[in-house]
Structure 1
Amino acid sequence: MGTGSARRIRQAGESDRATLVRLLDAAFMNDPVSCWVFPEEAHRRKVHSLFLGVFADVALAEGRVDIMEDETAMALWLQVPAGLPEEEDDTPALMRRTADPENERAEMIGRLTGAVHPHDRAHEYLLMIAVDPEHQGRGLGRALIEPVLERCDREGIPAYLEASSERSSHLYERLGFAFTGTAVDLPDGPRMWPMWREPAAG
């Protein structure tokens, strides 16, 4: 692979939160799922960063955030253990409460994706990846993901994600991910593609 070695990547911390939220907000402002959660553009521009800030906080507290040193792209990762969680995930409710309490879709998206998330094996979960719109199409996302997938291959660990568009699902297929066969169809909205990647045999 080797793409990641050509670009400098570091691990982000709490001091980077504002940068992470800015990247997420810009990258997903016109994403089909964001547009479904917040259909009115003016309202979306007001609350979108609050909504996505919850994802950044979860990854900073419980996972890992990789960011390009020039702050053009970042990836949020969580290590998910095998087995169903002992407690209900309160993140979907927090997303709604933080960003848009009257909007049930702000919670529904987390509930629907959580319902199909596999729990039979421990895996790396690519929660979100964001590339600044002015830098998209330059391989930055791939450069961020490949080092993690190389480690997954070495350690025999699967990986998982939800693609928010058919186009992005094809990009992930090139990295070894495959559609699980169970889509997330948002009511009156777009489809999401849960995707699983088996570690490559050594």
Structure 2
Amino acid sequence: MQSADGDALSIKTIDLQDHSRVLAILTTAFTMCPLLRWLYPEPREYLQHFNGLIKHHCGSPYSSGAYLNDGDKGAILWDTAGEKRDNTSMMEFLLKSVPAHRRSETERLFETFGKYHPHQPHWYVSMVAIDPIHQRSGLAGHLLRHATEISDAAQRPVHLEATSPHAMRLYAQQGWSVLTEVQVGGSPPFFPMLRQPKT
């Protein structure tokens, strides 16, 4: 694969020794995420709780995913149909870590997300992260195509939540369809989306 400026892209499957590299990509990328910064609007809170959120939200993130191995510019994490996330544990973590005035809306928001997860076996893209200085350069599309080639080969639908209108449009270009718009209280709008496998 090549980037927009013609440079070759190296995409590496994540393994355990990549933990710190991938966490650095995610931490940097999600400083601009509407969902993460709604949950943790203060920089200190964001940095304090981000690693814990990743562990709860992504399950075993460093065994299912890939990252751009040249400059660590981006990463993508997903759960396969055989992996189960502990939603109860994740909610307990969120309700302990988000600001007190936001706990009720946070609980309602994630409960609403859960209503749109498919009932049939599916994969879940939990994180798509591009370093902010490389965003809007086509790198996210390369990571998404890498992931969908794998999910298409497995013939699995793939679910995700787009956390911004820009992300929604990007995922739509890669074959995802919007299921609904979710907004709870003062939260930004979010968009559960589903992609059916291509033969």
User: TM-score interval w.r.t. the shorter chain?
Assistant: 0.7 to 0.9
Contact 1:11 1:66 in 2 (8 A): yes
Task: State the shift of 1:49 in Å.
Answer: 3.9
Equivalent pairs, count: 192
How big is each residue's C-alpha offset from its partner over 1:2-37, in whole Å with a ceiling of 9 and x where there is no partner?
669x42111112222222222111111121111211
How big is each residue's C-alpha offset from its partner over 1:134-190, in whole Å with a ceiling of 9 and x where there is no partner?
22122211111112212333443211111001111011111111101x322132111
How big is each residue's C-alpha offset from its partner over 1:98-152, in whole Å with a ceiling of 9 and x where there is no partner?
8559563696254332232122x22221111111112212221111111221233
Distance 1:93 1:68 in 2: 30
Q: Which amino acid aligns with 2:25?
A: L
Distance 1:88 1:28 in 2: 22
1:193 counterpart residue number:
191
1:69 aligns with 2:69: yes
Q: Which amino acid aligns with 1:27?
A: A
Distance 1:175 1:186, change over 3 A: same
1:93 counterpart residue number:
91
Q: Which amino acid aligns with 2:78?
A: W
Distance 2:153 2:28 in 1: 34
Q: Mind listing any 5+ residue stretches in structure 2 that lack a counterpart?
A: none
Q: Mind listing any 5+ residue stretches in structure 1 that lack a counterpart?
A: none
Distance 2:41 2:189 in 1: 16
Distance 2:27 2:86 in 1: 27
Equivalent residues in 2 for 1:1-202, closer than 5 Å: 6-55=8-57, 58-60=60-62, 64-70=64-70, 71-80=72-81, 89-93=87-91, 95-96=93-94, 99=97, 104=103, 108=107, 109-119=109-119, 121-180=120-179, 182-200=180-198, 202=199
Contact 1:126 1:159 in 2 (8 A): yes
3-state DSSP of counterpart to 1:184 = coil
Distance 1:65 1:111 in 2: 25
Contact 1:48 1:99 in 2 (8 A): no
Distance 1:106 1:64, change over 3 A: farther
Contact 1:50 1:99 in 2 (8 A): no
Identity across aligned pairs (percent)? 24
